[in-house]
Structure 1
Amino acid sequence: MLKHLTGAALVALAATASAEAKTQITCLTNAGHLTRQHEPLVAQFNAMQEEIEVVYAAPAQNYADTHIKLLRASATNTLPDCAFEAYNQLPSLARAMAARGQIVNLDEMMATEGADWKAANYSEQMLNLGRVDGVQYGMPFNASVAQWYVNTDLLKQAGVDLDSLKTWDGVLAAAAKVNALGDDIGGLSFAADQWGDDWLLQVLIEQQGGAMLNDAGDTIAFDAEDRSLKAMELLRRMVTEGGYNPAIDVDTQLTAFTEGKLGIYANSPASAKMIQERVGGAFDLHSVKFSVWDEENGTLPTGGNAAIITTTDPEKAAAAWTYIKFLTGPEGQNQTARNTGYLPTNLGALAEEYLGAYYAENPYFATPSTQYERAGKWWGYPGTQSEKIWRDQRSVIRGVMLGEMTPQEGATEIKAIAEKLMKR
């Protein structure tokens, strides 16, 4: 069984086998990441060595679909050799697969590389994103914390300085001034009422210094110190003060921003390259650090995914580890950051020859690297109902933003929803 083999044994077995025949491994990611990120990286990896050939399975639709596909494949023993699982869904997947001996403990793999290699490449804060119950099941590949995208031309017209966006009061005041520029101009987009997962809700809790769950991950904690109430109040203020319009769908909000009709837009740095391409030179585009209430303790949930090894074949497992080292190494992260805007997960990628000079010349893409200290946990609920929890909570958030529910009613309801469904 794979779980009884050490990382050293896996690497040794692969080295022996590689001299005899090329090892082919299959990986699973989602469609949104395949073309821009994985295809150029796998092409380079396959060309740079002759021992391993990496191919990709038909992609999942999104993170949720990736999770479902892996759970089903786990039950039928048809897993790929490696996969890329969202941080918030990794705990439930890793626990289920570890019980079946279907996921590799990457601590053992890293031990074969040595402590100096580990320290030179990965911070403990970054590695924590891929740990479950103290075990390194995933190597962080993509990482992102929320940031503001800003049309500084509109801000200048409204008499607003970029520095005012350091606080939430400043953001709302700036958005109000931009919103007043004309009927066809919007001030702010923070589409928590339409987002595909609860990332933006978690932003509002963690930036206060809070957590979604307790340390054991089995009890709601987002209501501590009235943090969920304060989050609901802020969401309502985005509409009443900042000019956010829930009637405009999330895709149209993005289009409005890239066409110069929206002042301040919240999204992941993963969208930085796409946004820049769509804006072209239409206006002066900036990205800035996200606003937090608690500067000392506030964090931001780290979106993204970790690479996991899901094969019981020692040779394929070691080959997958070689590929993952490339993806999460300096060159892999250098390319990923340039192609998308994601925060690099490898310390070496910040060196001058990789992203150091690039960030100095392109400050628009450097914002993620200034938020390392804010990279917090993207929480996942226990049980199998995380998607339904979010769908129901999202409806409540929309009701609060539209003024159909009070912030207090909203805070009470999102807790009740989570407590009811998280045990299933």
Structure 2
Amino acid sequence: MRKLLAMLALGGLLSLASGLAQATTLQILSAFDRTMAEAHQEIKRRFEAENPGITLEFQTAAQNYEEASQKIIRGAMINDLPDVSFQGLNLMRGLVDRGIVVPLDGFIAADGGADKLGYDPGMLRAGGLGGKTYGIPFAVSTPIVYLNVDLLKAAGADAANFPKTWPEILALGAKIDDPARNVIGFYCQWDVTGNWMFQSLVFANGGRMLSPDEKTVAFDQPPGMAALSTFESFARAKMPNLPSSQSRAAFIAGKIGIFVDSSSNLGSATRQIGKSFDFRTLRFPLGAEDGKVPGGGNLAVILAKDPERQQAAWKYVRFATGPIGQTIMANHTGYLPSNSIAVNTPALLGDFYKANANYQASIAQVPILTGWYAFPGSNGVKIIDVIKRHTEAVVTGKKNAAETMPAMAADVRKLLE
């Protein structure tokens, strides 16, 4: 009996040791976003419940996508990287060029391919480079127009006949302006990370950021000049310069009539506004027949080097970008899901989108989505900062578009060289 007990005890210890050896704690890095943080935590709970051998540990969130990218680059130099990171769609390229990101094609193929996993082909292309897939889009946004219908009606306007051009939109905003009640007629969230709103205007006018061979600046051509001139028109219309948190709070409080922002804020706005006032969303205005809008948001990339950790990391990425993870993400935010199974299944997101008309503006823009442009070379993040500095001077009325464009293009050319 003593021998049997000893053998059982030894077996139990070996089993415990084996379980401990197989247990994995994955380090995860993301950029700060309150609603996204809530989605990540719910996905974490569901994933860990289904995968008891894997624990997710979120590192302190970066303030924005640029900071997250820089943290990864610095970590690679000292061999201190998280296992998985949610990177801005426009910043994956710099990590791929440095050999930091793990290709995912083998994992996808081993699990039956993209179709079986529900990965939308167009969305999946956003995570590709050089014929390989390096990231799976987790949350995708488009620029849209939010309308406070009550303020429009008070100004004698009708949301159903909303103007299509920026001059007409700004003219309507001027009618809504009411300083006595702290009401702002028009506001554009111009400073979204990664020059996203400037790119939105460039692409909407049929332009591009660099030449096809990526050797020369292309945003200084007429479409780009139209984009920068649109920023100048915002300044002439006396649009205030507000931090994103303040402008979003003002719209939710019913103090902005026309609000141009990312669809990523839609979920939060819907919950907080409730029935306080009637609000609608519309597509982003296009200035050309071939105009497009850049897909914003982030994708999941694997940075783990150990094969076993890579397998655990892929399980997590597959879950977060799968039907359940994408349903959780979409319910918490206004981002578009990348998983077609989630979108087409009534019990997941199919019925949700049918019942929430305000999400249709962003969904309607999927056919005209283009990439959130990533500048080549080691100065990609610096170029983003340079463009932001120049556009800020225009949108705040300190400089005009005509004098700013040549200087901005010259500064970017130097960094490209």
Normalising by structure 1, report the TM-score: 0.86
Distance 1:120 1:169, change over 3 A: farther
How far did residue 91 of structure 1 move?
Answer: 0.5
Distance 1:68 1:127, change over 3 A: same
How far did residue 322 of structure 1 move?
Answer: 1.4
Cα offsets for 1:139-192 (capped at 9, x unmatched): 111111111111010111112222424443442232232226866322111142
Aligned partner of 1:171 among 169, 172, 176 = 169
Aligned partner of 1:335 among 328, 340, 347 = 328
Aligned partner of 2:226 among 230, 233, 237 = 230
Aligned to 1:285: 279
How far did residue 292 of structure 1 move?
Answer: 1.2
Of 171-180 and 140-149, more deviation after overlay is shown by: 171-180
Distance 1:258 1:320, change over 3 A: same
**Using the alignment, how far apart are the partners of 2:128 and 2:19 within structure 1?**
30
Distance 1:357 1:312, change over 3 A: same
SS in 1 for 2:156: coil
**Using the alignment, how far apart are the partners of 1:276 and 1:260 within structure 2?**
12
Q: How does 1:3-402 map to 2 (within 5 A)?
A: 21-32=22-33, 35-97=37-99, 102-115=100-113, 117-118=114-115, 121-162=118-159, 163-179=161-177, 184-192=182-190, 194-224=191-221, 226-241=222-237, 243-246=238-241, 248-295=242-289, 297-351=290-344, 352-402=346-396
How far did residue 258 of structure 1 move?
Answer: 1.9
SS in 2 for 1:31: coil
**Using the alignment, how far apart are the partners of 1:30 and 1:407 within structure 2?**
32
Unaligned runs of 5+ in 1: 1-16
1:165 touches 1:291 (CA, 8 Å); kept in 2? no
How far did residue 30 of structure 1 move?
Answer: 2.3
**Using the alignment, how far apart are the partners of 1:316 and 1:388 within structure 2?**
33
**Using the alignment, how far apart are the partners of 1:250 and 1:27 within structure 2?**
25
Cα offsets for 1:361-415 (capped at 9, x unmatched): 1212343222211221111222343444333333332333344433221221221
Letter in 1 for 2:80: T
Letter in 2 for 1:274: S
**Using the alignment, how far apart are the partners of 1:20 and 1:390 within structure 2?**
44
**Using the alignment, how far apart are the partners of 1:326 and 1:275 within structure 2?**
27
**Using the alignment, how far apart are the partners of 1:25 and 1:275 within structure 2?**
32
2:137 touches 2:299 (CA, 8 Å); kept in 1? yes
1:168 touches 1:292 (CA, 8 Å); kept in 2? no
Aligned to 1:9: none
1:211 touches 1:222 (CA, 8 Å); kept in 2? yes
Cα offsets for 1:37-64 (capped at 9, x unmatched): 2111011100023343332233323212
Unaligned runs of 5+ in 2: 1-17
**Using the alignment, how far apart are the partners of 1:103 and 1:234 within structure 2?**
37
Cα offsets for 1:178-216 (capped at 9, x unmatched): 226866322111142x44431111111011122212334
Letter in 1 for 2:132: V
Letter in 2 for 1:309: I
Letter in 2 for 1:112: A
Aligned to 1:5: none
How far did residue 276 of structure 1 move?
Answer: 2.7
Letter in 2 for 1:175: G
Of 385-394 and 127-136, more deviation after overlay is shown by: 385-394
**Using the alignment, how far apart are the partners of 2:112 and 2:271 within structure 1?**
41
**Using the alignment, how far apart are the partners of 1:400 and 1:39 within structure 2?**
39
How far did residue 333 of structure 1 move?
Answer: 0.8
Which runs of 4 or more aligned residues in structure 1 lie more than 6 Å from their structure 2 counterparts after TM superposition? 17-20
**Using the alignment, how far apart are the partners of 2:233 and 2:187 within structure 1?**
12
The RMSD of aligned alpha carbons is: 2.4
Letter in 1 for 2:240: N
How far did residue 417 of structure 1 move?
Answer: 1.8
Of 357-366 and 382-391, more deviation after overlay is shown by: 382-391
Normalising by structure 2, report the TM-score: 0.87
**Using the alignment, how far apart are the partners of 1:275 and 1:265 within structure 2?**
12
Of 394-403 and 282-291, more deviation after overlay is shown by: 394-403
User: Aligned residue pairs: how many?
Assistant: 397
Bigger Rg, structure 1 or 2: 2
1:205 touches 1:211 (CA, 8 Å); kept in 2? yes
Distance 1:218 1:329, change over 3 A: farther
1:344 touches 1:369 (CA, 8 Å); kept in 2? no
Aligned to 1:410: 404
2:232 touches 2:401 (CA, 8 Å); kept in 1? yes
Cα offsets for 1:110-153 (capped at 9, x unmatched): 122234x4366123221111112222111111111111111010
